[in-house]
Amino acid sequence: MAYHPVDVHVGNRLRQRRVLLGITQTTLGKAVGLTFQQVQKYERGSNRISSSRLFKFAKVLNVPVSHFFERMAPRIATGQRKVGRPKSNMNDGAAIDTKRETLELVRAYYKITNNRVRQEIRVMVQALAKKG
């Protein structure tokens, strides 16, 4: 099935924000009057989100509506279609932040209240990444 690339992008941004805030699909769905299954369809891009529903999501997730369209690749913005759901590629910097693991790591990192400790962890992770 071919999903429109804009719907997939908006769905990914919805999922990223939800996971970053630690909200379940069920909780988000209830907040806007939906089932978790409908939230899943929106996040996959298999169902298009209406403007009024997108406005509700933005309010619940505490972001402007424009958040869902940020960082959209030019290929997507021009409406070029791609069959199926795009695959995440770890070599593609734009795709890295779509991984749940990354979002959970960022959320945990910012829960560390001691700035010095947080910076030491950042430096350590960067050093480990250089070693491969």
Q: What is the CATH number of the domain that holds 69?
A: 1.10.260.40
Q: Do the domain assignments include residue 23?
A: yes
Q: Print pLDDT tens along the chain (132 aa).
A: 678 899 999 999 999 999 888 899 999 999 999 999 999 999 999 999 999 999 999 999 999 999 999 988 888 877 665 545 444 433 334 444 567 788 788 888 888 899 899 899 989 988 998 887
Q: In total, how many domains does the chain have?
A: 1
Kindly state whether residue 108 falls inside one of the protein's structural domains.
Answer: no
Query: Is 122 part of any domain?
Result: no
**Residue numbers of the domain that contains 94:** 5-98
In a domain, 123, yes or no: no
Cβ proximity of 97 and 69 under 8 Å? no
Q: Which two tokens stand for residue 91?
A: 């070599």
21 in a structural domain:
yes
Does this model's pTM top 0.85? My answer is: no
Residue 1: closest CA among 85, 67, 66: 85
